[in-house]
Amino acid sequence: FALATASPTQVLGETWDGQGWVQETTGKVLFAMGKSYYVCSASVASESIGDRSIILTAGHCVFDNKTGKFATNWMFIPDYDSNAVTLTRDGSFCPNTAYGCWTATSLVVHKGFASQRKFNAQATLYDFAFAAVLDGGNTNAQLDTTVGSQAIAFSPVDTDADTYLFGYPAATPYTGKDLIYSQGLLGLDPLNKNQTYRIASDMTGGSSGGPWFTPFSDGSGEGTMMSVNSYGYTGITAMHGPKFNTNTQTLLTSAATATTNTIVP
């Protein structure tokens, strides 16, 4: 007879106390859409070229479907959890954070997302983006050499894989000041024709763009990113995310050389 495989622990949303690499590479994002400021989450990607580092986040954290315009004043604060200071529009808080603020020199999103004038089913399939940053923070070193980085996979992941989600949810019951994680078996969203991933989670607004990992080591805090926090449904305790694929890889390649905000065909 065969031994049954134990199911992983399910975590809907708890403070991450494991420290490790994931705490430093996952950060909070502050940006403007028009005259309003918003927060998201993001993570440092493993790919860096020359004098730039690459940050992974959600498409709706860099581009406004309704107006067809990119975000402005886009700042990434790695390891925000270590010193969760109050954010201000002028960035005066930056010297008081663990590693300072890193301002995007270019934001890169896919046409499949940018072509939509509302966050619809097609937009969810392309709700990933990259931001390129040069030197910054509290030193003149590159971001990835300062806090580390995480690997990315660009092929579909089997369902039932043990998966970890991270982010800085800011809406009740969360405060936006703690790095929160969810853990569970990877599934698909039946309400989106199984075209996107689904994990049981109670993370709220502000966690968008935070990384999904499988596999993941809760000891070292290192893993492989294969999606990001994207959307949820009222009344359903789950987070959903796009499936990374060749389109995601094309975006990353573009971000490695982009000198301005870019919509990739």
- pLDDT score of 75: 96
**Angle at 216 (CA atoms; ends 210, 222), nearest 5 degrees:** 75
- pLDDT score of 136: 57
- pLDDT score of 202: 97
Q: Residue 223 corresponds to which tokens in the numbers above?
A: 């893993």
In three state form, how does the secondary structure of the chain look?
Answer: CCCCCCCCCCEEEEECCCCHHHHHHEEEEEEEECCEEEEEEEEEEEEEECCEEEEEECHHHCEECCCCEECEEEEEEECHHHHCCCCCCCCCCHHHCCCCCEEEEEEEEEHHHHCCCCCCHHHHHCCCEEEEECCCCCCCCCHHHHHCCEEECCCCCCCCCEEEEEECCCCCCCCCCCCEEEEEECEECHHHCCCCEEEECCCCCCCCCCEEEEEEECCCCEEEEEEECCEEECCEEEEEECCCCHHHHHHHHHHCCCCCCEEEC
> Rounded CA gap, 245 and 235, in Å?
29
Q: Is 79 left (phi over 0), alpha (psi -120 to 50) or beta?
A: left
- pLDDT score of 260: 96
CA 90 to chain centre: 23
- pLDDT score of 3: 41
- pLDDT score of 211: 98
- pLDDT score of 140: 60
> Rounded CA gap, 261 and 150, in Å?
23
Q: What is the mean pLDDT of each run of 10 residues along the chain (265 residues)?
A: 54 92 97 96 84 94 97 96 94 93 96 97 98 71 89 94 97 96 98 97 98 95 97 97 97 94 96
- pLDDT score of 141: 75
